[in-house]
């Protein structure tokens, strides 16, 4: 690990930077670097969103009744399915097809030419993969935010109250790996709290982390609030103040090669609408930060 | 099946109906490897390979796959013998059950292992309460997960070899007064040695590439449970080049070992 964190060349290509060259160190420095990049991208995307004019694509057929294919982060499964049904009800004859998967896998599929209309990512970093490769029509806009909670088995048998309790000897903690968005957020939150946790496992995605709590193999894990809510029959989610400093932005964009751009834009509008926001908040998401 | 016959220069023409699909099959298998090589960042290979953690993951992978293979040999060869040599009711069902891990998605296998050997599982709970031993998230857990997924490969190969052995050798040994154990160790086992070796190699290769059951049962922690496939998957999340390099390392090591073993011990199973 000889790369200085300030190397401008690396900072300019966030997709291939950070702790990514070395999957074996989920250390604080890497997390901070990722956070810097994420913060930078968010700032840029917010500024550009302020300009707000999508001039890259001319008017097309104007067809709202056709199919729309949405590639969305796995954590959006429940609210987006609801929104998809709503879109189909509002536009008779239309069909919304979803491909839910990890944001990075989706980004790879899109840059390799998958025929998608809309991409909704769980982190700006994966969105940057797509925009950097020129696959986005216009600028991504942030439509929701998500933050971490401590997931514990129902009833909180270990009586955990905050991040500091995770250092308790003998306590088994699962985190997401630093390479995936929830792991980057966990690293940031723990850094901010000045807490050093030695997890028993660094999971490949947030659902895997959640599963370890559900199965009772670990005593606690850091997962998104939305994931904790989706499993509230088996686990409890404990809020902690430092999570406010590790918030994940969810950007959405219409893709440049979208086969159905008009319908795609209509779907993105629905996600941004008041109705869309309600569905997302019900799932545990927070509205995007103000301009 | 253990003969090394070579039909060189027999002048037989290969039928086109076989040659064309064979060539297509080879292309289909080899082309993705070519893709990997094309995407390999050759100039940055050195620093990539010496990055901390690569060697750790590789060493852990090789160690765990080898231990898993030894475990499979210790348990799988006797099981294969039982299936091939002993008539017992329900043998057909036992044989089917043995191959279940072949068709089971490895992630499901990992969950199943957790449900039994996890700390809430019947066996895992007992181990924890009695000896204070927990298997998930340990290197032992990696070995168990790999053995679970890889053992059927060994059993199928060894059972096939046992069925191909001429029974008369064993019968002759028995008539000369050898017990079943002596016959097994002195006659049967040497006869099926190539089959056992082939099975062990298959088993080792499968264990080396194991991903789903490992990450589900043993988790992912560098130096303890993070094997190469896990490292590759996580690298893929953010850095395709790193993933390609790691895959190439795994590929090179396994091809070298498999090629070496094949020439030395195995004669076309």
User: Between A and B, how many residue pairs show a Cβ–Cβ distance under 8 A?
Assistant: 103
- Closest C-alpha to A195, from A213, A225, A220: A220
Comparing A30 with A76, the larger pLDDT belongs to A76
Q: Is the dihedral of CA B86, B92, B93, B97 positive or negative?
A: positive
Q: Report the 10 Å Cβ neighbour count for A100.
A: 17
Question: Quick check: A75 and A122 in contact, CB under 8 A?
Answer: yes
- Closest C-alpha to B215, from A109, A73, A152, A217: A217
Find chain A residues with C-beta within 8 A of B137's C-beta: 172, 200-201, 217
- Asked whether residue A262 falls in the same domain as residue A208, the answer is no
pLDDT at A207: 86
Asked if residue A168 belongs to a domain, the reply is yes
Asked if residue A121 belongs to a domain, the reply is yes
Q: Is the dihedral of CA B118, B123, B128, B133 positive or negative?
A: negative
Question: Quick check: A22 and A178 in contact, CB under 8 A?
Answer: no
Q: Is the pLDDT of residue B9 over 60?
A: no
Distance CA A21, CA B235 (A): 7
- Joined tokens for residue B1: 């099946």
- Domain range spanning residue B213? 51-264
Tell me the CA distances in angstroms from A66 to A77, A82, A135, A192, one per residue in order.
Answer: 22, 18, 21, 47
Instruction: Determine whether the interchain pair B220/A216 forms a contact, defined as Cβ–Cβ distance below 8 Å.
Output: no
Instruction: Determine whether the interchain pair B118/A102 forms a contact, defined as Cβ–Cβ distance below 8 Å.
Output: no
- Asked whether residue A219 falls in the same domain as residue A133, the answer is no
> How distant is the Cα of B30 from the closest Cα of chain A, in angstroms?
20
Distance CA A91, CA A69 (A): 15
Q: Is the dihedral of CA A72, A37, A286, A52 positive or negative?
A: negative
pLDDT, average across residues A183-206: 92
pLDDT at B79: 96
- Closest C-alpha to A240, from A227, A217, A215, A223: A223
Asked if residue A173 belongs to a domain, the reply is yes
- Domain range spanning residue A204? 148-245
Q: Report the 10 Å Cβ neighbour count for A58.
A: 6
Instruction: Determine whether the interchain pair B219/A21 forms a contact, defined as Cβ–Cβ distance below 8 Å.
Output: no
- Joined tokens for residue A192: 């901010």
By percentage, how much of chain B surpasses pLDDT 70? 93
Instruction: Determine whether the interchain pair B114/A23 forms a contact, defined as Cβ–Cβ distance below 8 Å.
Output: no
- Asked whether residue A134 falls in the same domain as residue A263, the answer is yes
B148 pLDDT band, cuts 50/70/90, is very high
Q: Report the 10 Å Cβ neighbour count for A239.
A: 13
Residue partners of B32: CB distance under 8 A and separation at least 6: none
Q: Is the pLDDT of residue A285 over 80?
A: yes
Best B45, B108, B139, B219 residue to mutate vs chain A (most A CBs within 10 Å): B219
Q: Report the 10 Å Cβ neighbour count for B225.
A: 26
- Asked whether residue A166 falls in the same domain as residue A188, the answer is yes
pLDDT, average across residues B172-178: 90
Asked if residue B98 belongs to a domain, the reply is yes
Asked if residue A66 belongs to a domain, the reply is yes
Instruction: Give the chain B residue whose CA is nearest to the CA of A176.
Output: B220
> How distant is the Cα of A203 from the closest Cα of chain B, in angstroms?
6
Q: Is the dihedral of CA B141, B142, B145, B151 positive or negative?
A: negative
B27 pLDDT band, cuts 50/70/90, is very high
Q: What is the mean pLDDT of chain B?
A: 88
Asked if residue B135 belongs to a domain, the reply is yes
Asked if residue A6 belongs to a domain, the reply is no
Most distant CA pair in chain B, distance: 70
Whether chain A has a CB inside 8 Å of the CB on B220: the answer is: yes
Residue partners of A42: CB distance under 8 A and separation at least 6: A124, A142, A249
Question: Given the structure tokens 């490949």, which residue do they identify?
Answer: A204
Find chain B residues with C-beta within 8 A of A15's C-beta: 238-239
Asked if residue B226 belongs to a domain, the reply is yes
Q: Is the pLDDT of residue A36 over 80?
A: no
Instruction: Determine whether the interchain pair B52/A25 forms a contact, defined as Cβ–Cβ distance below 8 Å.
Output: yes
- Asked whether residue A240 falls in the same domain as residue A171, the answer is yes
pLDDT tens for A77-98 read 889 999 999 999 999 889 999 9
Asked if residue B192 belongs to a domain, the reply is yes
CATH number at residue B188: 1.10.3720.10
- Asked whether residue A224 falls in the same domain as residue A173, the answer is yes
Q: Is the pLDDT of residue B239 over 80?
A: no
- Closest C-alpha to B232, from B248, B243, B223, B221: B243
Find chain A residues with C-beta within 8 A of B240's C-beta: 108
Question: Quick check: B135 and B127 in contact, CB under 8 A?
Answer: yes
Instruction: Determine whether the interchain pair A1/B231 forms a contact, defined as Cβ–Cβ distance below 8 Å.
Output: no
Distance CA A21, CA B49 (A): 10
Instruction: Determine whether the interchain pair B221/A201 forms a contact, defined as Cβ–Cβ distance below 8 Å.
Output: yes
pLDDT at B265: 55
Q: Which of A31-35, A279-283, B232-236 has the lowest mean pLDDT?
A: A31-35
Asked if residue A21 belongs to a domain, the reply is no
Asked if residue A41 belongs to a domain, the reply is no
Asked if residue B70 belongs to a domain, the reply is yes
- Asked whether residue A129 falls in the same domain as residue A69, the answer is yes
pLDDT, average across residues A51-63: 44
Looking at the 3D structure of chain A, how many domains does it have? 2
- Asked whether residue A156 falls in the same domain as residue A210, the answer is yes
Q: Is the pLDDT of residue B126 over 90?
A: yes
pLDDT at B11: 59
Distance CA B194, CA B191 (A): 8
Residue partners of A258: CB distance under 8 A and separation at least 6: A116, A117, A118, A137, A264
- Asked whether residue A74 falls in the same domain as residue A206, the answer is no
- Asked whether residue A263 falls in the same domain as residue A137, the answer is yes
Q: Is the pLDDT of residue A270 over 70?
A: yes
Q: What is the mean pLDDT of chain A?
A: 81
Asked if residue A264 belongs to a domain, the reply is yes
- Closest C-alpha to A91, from A83, A99, A101, A79: A83
Q: Is the pTM of this model over 0.90?
A: no
Distance CA B81, CA B188 (A): 9
Distance CA A127, CA A281 (A): 22
Q: Is the pLDDT of residue A153 over 60?
A: yes
Instruction: Determine whether the interchain pair A102/B237 forms a contact, defined as Cβ–Cβ distance below 8 Å.
Output: yes
CATH number at residue A83: 3.40.190.10
Instruction: Give the chain B residue whose CA is nearest to the CA of A103.
Output: B237
Looking at the 3D structure of chain B, how many domains does it have? 1
pLDDT tens for A200-250 read 999 988 888 999 999 999 999 999 999 898 888 999 999 999 988 888 899
A7 pLDDT band, cuts 50/70/90, is very low
- Closest C-alpha to B35, from A102, A135, A130, A112: A112
Asked if residue B31 belongs to a domain, the reply is no
- Asked whether residue A153 falls in the same domain as residue A235, the answer is yes
- Asked whether residue A154 falls in the same domain as residue A138, the answer is no
By percentage, how much of chain A surpasses pLDDT 90? 56
């Amino acid at each position: 690990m000889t790369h200085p964190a300030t190397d401008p060349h690396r900072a300019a290509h966030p997709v291939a930077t950070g702790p990514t060259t070395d999957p074996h160190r989920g250390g604080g420095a890497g997390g901070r670097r990722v956070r810097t990049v994420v913060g930078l991208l968010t700032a840029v995307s917010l500024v550009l969103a302020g300009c707000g004019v999508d001039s890259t694509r001319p008017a097309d057929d104007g067809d709202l009744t056709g199919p729309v294919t949405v590639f969305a982060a796995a954590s959006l499964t429940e609210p987006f399915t609801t929104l998809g049904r709503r879109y189909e009800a509002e536009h008779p004859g239309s069909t919304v097809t979803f491909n839910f998967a990890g944001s990075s896998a989706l980004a790879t599929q899109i840059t390799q030419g998958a025929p998608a209309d809309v991409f909704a990512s769980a982190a700006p970093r994966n969105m940057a993969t797509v925009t950097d490769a020129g696959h986005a029509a216009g600028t991504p806009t942030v439509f929701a935010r998500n933050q971490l909670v401590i997931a514990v088995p129902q009833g909180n048998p270990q009586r955990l109250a905050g991040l500091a309790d995770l250092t308790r000897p003998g306590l088994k903690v699962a985190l997401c790996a630093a390479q995936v968005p929830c792991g980057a957020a966990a690293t940031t939150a723990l850094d901010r709290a000045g807490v050093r946790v030695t997890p028993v496992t660094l999971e490949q995605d947030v659902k895997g982390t959640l599963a370890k709590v559900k199965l009772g193999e670990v005593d606690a894990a850091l997962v998104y609030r939305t994931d904790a809510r989706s499993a509230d029959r088996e686990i409890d989610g404990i809020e902690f103040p430092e999570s406010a400093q590790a918030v994940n932005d969810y950007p959405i964009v219409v893709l440049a090669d979208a086969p159905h751009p008009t319908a795609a834009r209509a779907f993105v509008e629905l996600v941004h609408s008041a109705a869309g926001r309600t569905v997302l908040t019900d799932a545990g998401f927070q509205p995007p930060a103000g301009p | 099946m253990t003969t090394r016959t070579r039909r060189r220069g027999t002048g037989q023409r290969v039928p086109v109906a076989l040659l064309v699909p064979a060539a297509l099959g080879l292309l289909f298998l080899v082309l993705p490897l070519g893709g990997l090589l094309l995407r390999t960042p050759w100039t940055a290979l050195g620093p990539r390979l010496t990055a901390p953690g690569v060697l750790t993951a590789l060493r852990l992978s090789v160690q765990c796959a080898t231990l898993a293979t030894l475990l499979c040999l210790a348990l799988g060869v006797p099981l294969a013998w039982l299936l091939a040599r002993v008539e017992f009711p329900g043998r057909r069902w036992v044989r089917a059950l043995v191959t279940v891990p072949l068709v089971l998605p490895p992630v499901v296998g990992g969950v199943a292992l957790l449900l039994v050997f996890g700390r809430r599982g019947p066996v895992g709970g007992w181990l924890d309460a009695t000896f204070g031993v927990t298997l998930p998230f340990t290197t032992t857990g990696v070995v168990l997960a790999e053995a679970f997924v890889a053992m059927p490969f060994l059993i199928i190969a060894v059972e096939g070899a046992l069925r191909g052995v001429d029974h008369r050798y064993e019968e002759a040994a028995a008539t000369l007064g050898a017990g079943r154990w002596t016959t097994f160790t002195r006659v049967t086992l040497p006869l099926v040695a190539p089959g056992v070796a082939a099975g062990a190699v298959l088993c080792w290769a499968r264990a080396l590439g194991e991903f789903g059951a490992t990450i589900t049962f043993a988790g992912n922690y560098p130096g303890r449970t993070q094997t190469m496939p896990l490292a590759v998957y996580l690298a893929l999340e953010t850095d395709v080049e790193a993933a390609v390099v790691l895959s190439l390392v795994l590929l090179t090591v396994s091809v070298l070992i498999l090629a070496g073993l094949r020439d030395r011990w195995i004669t076309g199973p």
